[in-house]
Amino acid sequence: KAGVTQTPRYLIKTRGQQVTLSCSPISGHRSVSWYQQTPGQGLQFLFEYFSETQRNKGNFPGRFSGRQFSNSRSEMNVSTLELGDSALYLCASSFRGAEETQYFGPGTRLLVL
């Protein structure tokens, strides 16, 4: 079974631009969660989608948004990029959610200049 895939793997953007990241979960998994990892803050939860519905949202500004499609693939979007948005963005999938083993993708490393 293929693992969780994320595209692109690396991205360089400038302040003010927007970016869309994609996550394809393991086949059959309906829950996709997104996390931001920075050296200062560590791993922080962004949001979780389950069957195309946002089930939980972390404490991030409205510039961060996401969605999930009927095939469980998920995208997250960051608008009006700031330097502090430079981070590793990870997605994880599972059948039901955080109450079971999470399978992480390789991450997208975003650099904002």
Partner 1 sequence: KNEVEQSPQNLTAQEGEFITINCSYSVGISALHWLQQHPGGGIVSLFMLSSGKKKHGRLIATINIQEKHSSLHITASHPRDSAVYICAVQSGNTPLVFGKGTRLSVIA
The footprint of partner 1 (CB under 8 A) covers 33, 37, 42-45, 48, 55-56, 58, 88, 90, 92, 97-104, 106-107, 109
- Of 20, 19, 22, 46, the closest CA to residue 34 belongs to 46
37, 108 contact by CB (below 8 A) = no
Smallest distance, partner 1 to C-beta of residue 106, A: 5
Q: Shortest Cβ distance from residue 14 to partner 1 (Å)?
A: 23
- Pick the closer one to partner 1 by CB: 27 or 80: 27
Cis omega (within 30 of 0) on the bond before 8? yes
CA distance linking residue 22 with residue 102, whole number of Å: 17
Minimum CB separation of residue 74 from partner 1 in Å reads: 15
Kindly tell me which of 6 and 80 has the beta carbon lying closer to partner 1: 6
